[in-house]
């Protein structure tokens, strides 16, 4: 085996964020840059030699080249076998599924999720561990520390692998197996959901529109919605994965999934509209002229879980990220379920799921999933909603959500994103809040009395690990909240996310437009953080 040891030097800024390392494509194209980061993982992981790894990504620009680099490095570092999605493609939830089903040691997922693609866009890579979930902080920190002093990496000087032909080949002493990227995932969905009932629903005339946004989920959605359930051809739109996502921004929200929004807010709209993101782990749910917030989606699915075959025996518990609204908390209390509040990042749910303490988990950033994998799963959420519609005949998406509000109350909720901020200004803003917010207790802000304020910290109830500095919270006595945090998923400047929430128990007041219902709190949030003065931005870039 022709192993080469290449001399290199450390690069600055290779610290993984919320979901791995994300940078511009040009950054990853630098000689030795990707190699340094991958070697840091091989240098710090223990026990991987001779085992099986999984490899695939969302198909964005540089995906295939990166896959070739990683395969040669894996062989040079003693990996026994790599399962690669055909064309180097695997959605993030499918990669988790494959790792778990085939009992792999772990895997590399190539994606920058909902970030733009193309030659001038973003690229990303993260490592998932044996349970199929993102590597916890002790792993990412070890790899990062290694990047600070790395001086060489190992690779094979061999031709590229054929990534498009199913079957096995050898790369040095390592077996490379090109697998169907869709089949294992579809089989898992068939175990969880009543495909016969869903097919009957679709055949009865209940229409679905799924916008894959020219990202990875297109083949998965077509295989299930059109091929297995019999939805008419064209029910999946923008279904061909493209390296630049067709020039679009693969983030399934009301701004970027504009084609779907136009369809769902037009006459004769389908019963269920949905979109997924670049790597298939996020989702947006729409009914006829009705948007379901991610927080409400998690709460509604938890309340209706026993209607879904895979969860008929009930849930062990639920979990949500701290910025996500408290809507699911009210469901958990009513159902007598444990409810956990974690930092943002799906890796924090893994321990809870592995310990059998949480079944459904969700993040406000359009992520909902269950313990069937250890990642967010956009298509799973769509099928869960379709299953609920099948189990509640004659009720629309809006009917189901409004009935939920009537029973549990409505959590008016919105996220305001300020993107591309000067990083120094954004960090100064957060420092200002950390210094100011703890002293607000007992004060009245525009008629809202502050109960407490802090910078959220989390102690994992399973392994006792601690995470601090996870977001500044202002909590009011009436249950309203304002949360501030800097996103860990961007590649240019800083993104400030501001979350605003108000609970309304009175059904007579559930029909107010969200931004109107939150207007006072929005004003408080902007003034308290001095957003315009500190960043120069009068208005957010995106409101969801």
Which residues are designated catalytic?
113
SS3 365: coil
Residue 369, token pair as written in the block: 């999933």
CA angle, corner 366, sides to 385 and 396, nearest 5?
Answer: 30
SS3 370: strand
Residue 270, token pair as written in the block: 């389908």
Which residues, at least 6 apart from 476, have a Cβ–Cβ distance to it below 8 Å? 445, 448, 449, 450, 451
What is the distance between the alpha carbons of residues 103 and 441, in angstroms, rounded to a whole number? 50
SS3 176: strand
What is the distance between the alpha carbons of residues 129 and 494, in angstroms, rounded to a whole number? 28
Distance between start and end Cα atoms, the chain: 53
What is the distance between the alpha carbons of residues 367 and 113, in angstroms, rounded to a whole number? 12
* H or E, element range at 170: strand 167-171
For 244-272, give one letter per residue: b (16+ CB within 10 A) or e: bbeebbbbbbbebbeebbebbeeeebbbb
Of 290, 352, 274, 291, which Cα lies nearest the Cα of 320?
352
What is the distance between the alpha carbons of residues 139 and 27, in angstroms, rounded to a whole number? 23
Of 149, 163, 154, which Cα lies nearest the Cα of 38?
154
- Bridge partners for 339 per DSSP: 318
Report yes or no: 187 and 213 within 8 Å, Cβ to Cβ: no
Report yes or no: 491 and 478 within 8 Å, Cβ to Cβ: no
What is the distance between the alpha carbons of residues 250 and 279, in angstroms, rounded to a whole number? 9
What is the distance between the alpha carbons of residues 382 and 283, in angstroms, rounded to a whole number? 7
What is the distance between the alpha carbons of residues 242 and 219, in angstroms, rounded to a whole number? 12
Which residues, at least 6 apart from 264, have a Cβ–Cβ distance to it below 8 Å? 209, 270, 273, 286, 287, 288, 289, 290
Residue 106, token pair as written in the block: 């772990």
Residue 144, token pair as written in the block: 């990062």
Of 210, 238, 215, 241, which Cα lies nearest the Cα of 226?
210
């Amino acid at each position: 085996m022709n192993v080469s040891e290449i001399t290199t030097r450390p690069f600055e800024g290779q610290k993984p964020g919320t979901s791995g390392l994300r940078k511009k494509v040009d950054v990853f194209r630098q000689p030795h840059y990707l190699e340094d980061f991958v070697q840091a993982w091989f240098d710090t992981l223990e026990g991987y030699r001779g085992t099986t790894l999984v490899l695939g990504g969302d198909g964005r620009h540089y995906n295939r080249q990166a896959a070739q680099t990683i395969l040669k490095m894996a062989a040079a570092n003693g990996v026994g076998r790599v399962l690669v999605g055909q064309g180097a493609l695997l959605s993030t939830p499918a990669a988790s599924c494959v790792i778990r089903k085939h009992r792999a040691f772990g895997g590399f997922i190539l994606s920058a999720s909902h970030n733009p693609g193309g030659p001038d866009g973003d690229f990303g890579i993260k490592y998932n561990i044996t349970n199929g979930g993102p590597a916890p902080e002790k792993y990412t920190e070890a790899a990062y520390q290694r990047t600070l002093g790395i001086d060489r990496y190992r690779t094979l000087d061999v031709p590229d692998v054929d990534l498009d032909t199913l079957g096995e080949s050898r790369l040095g002493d390592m077996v490379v197996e090109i697998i169907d990227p869709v089949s294992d995932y579809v089989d898992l969905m068939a175990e969880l959901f009543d495909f016969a009932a869903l097919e009957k629903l679709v055949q009865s005339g209940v229409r679905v529109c799924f916008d894959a946004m020219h990202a990875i989920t297109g083949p998965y959605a077509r295989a299930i919605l059109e091929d297995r359930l019999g939805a008419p051809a064209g029910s999946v739109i923008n279904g061909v994965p493209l390296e630049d996502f067709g020039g679009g921004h693969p983030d399934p929200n009301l701004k970027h999934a504009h084609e779907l929004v136009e369809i769902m807010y037009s006459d004769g709209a389908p019963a269920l509209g949905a979109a997924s993101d670049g790597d298939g782990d996020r989702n947006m749910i729409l009914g006829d002229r009705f948007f379901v917030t991610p927080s409400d989606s998690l709460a509604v699915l938890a309340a209706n879980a026993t209607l879904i075959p895979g969860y008929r025996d009930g849930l062990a518990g639920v979990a949500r990220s701290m910025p996500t609204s408290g809507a699911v908390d009210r469901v958990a209390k009513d159902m007598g379920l444990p409810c956990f509040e974690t930092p943002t990042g799906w890796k924090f749910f893994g321990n809870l799921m592995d310990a059998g303490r949480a079944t459904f988990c969700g993040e406000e950033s359009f992520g909902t999933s269950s313990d069937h994998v250890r990642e967010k799963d956009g298509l799973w959420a769509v099928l869960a909603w379709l299953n609920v519609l099948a189990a509640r005949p004659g009720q629309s998406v809006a009917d189901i959500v409004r009935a939920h509000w009537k029973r549990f109350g409505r959590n008016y909720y919105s996220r305001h994103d300020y993107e591309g901020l000067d990083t120094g200004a954004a960090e100064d803003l957060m420092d200002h809040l950390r210094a100011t917010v703890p002293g607000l207790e007992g004060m009245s802000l525009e008629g809202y009395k502050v109960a407490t304020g802090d910078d959220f910290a989390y102690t994992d109830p399973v392994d006792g690990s601690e995470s601090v500095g996870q977001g500044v919270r202002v909590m009011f006595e009436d249950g309203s909240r304002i949360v501030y945090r800097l996103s860990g998923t961007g590649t240019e400047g800083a993104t400030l996310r501001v979350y605003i929430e108000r609970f309304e128990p009175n059904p007579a007041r559930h029909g107010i437009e969200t931004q109107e219902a939150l207007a006072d709190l929005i004003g408080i949030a902007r003034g308290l953080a001095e957003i315009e003065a500190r960043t120069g931005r009068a208005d957010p870039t995106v409101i969801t």
